[in-house]
A = this chain, B = another copy of it.
Amino acid sequence: MARASTRSDPFNAIAEPRRRHILELLAADERSVGEIADALEMGQPSVTKHLQVLHHVGLVHVRRDGRRTMYRTNSDTLRTIHDWSGRFAQHWRSQLRRIKSHAEGKR
């Protein structure tokens, strides 16, 4: 058996380095498929496919603009990952006590 589908799990979706790069790029600004392909030097079909994976798991927002499709990172879904990894933070606290401010809102 293979791993849980990349299209249903945000953790799996960000396992691919290029998808993380896309998210990083889209965190700054909304961009079209072509702009992403240019910026990251990837083929267009490849970019489209990665964006679909990201969209399936809710990591990006999509918007149609004429014949272009604009994408933008949805940081809310990234919170799932941030929260999960934060559960192991017990030993960090001595170094970063101020992370507490995040924890307040979390639980």
Q: Which residues of A contact B (CB under 8 A)?
A: 3-4, 6, 9, 11-12, 14-17, 20, 23-24, 27, 73, 75-76, 78-79, 81-82, 84-93, 95-96, 102, 105
A-B contact list, 13 entries, CB within 8 Å? A3-B15, A3-B16, A6-B15, A11-B15, A11-B17, A14-B15, A73-B88, A75-B88, A75-B90, A75-B92, A78-B89, A81-B85, A85-B85
User: Which of the residues B11, B15, B75, B79 comes within 8 Å of A9, measured between beta carbons?
Assistant: B15
Q: Is the interface of A mostly helix, strand, loop or mixed?
A: helix
**Closest approach, in angstroms, between the C-beta of A27 and any C-beta of chain B?**
6
User: Which of the residues B11, B73, B85, B95 comes within 8 Å of A82, measured between beta carbons?
Assistant: B85
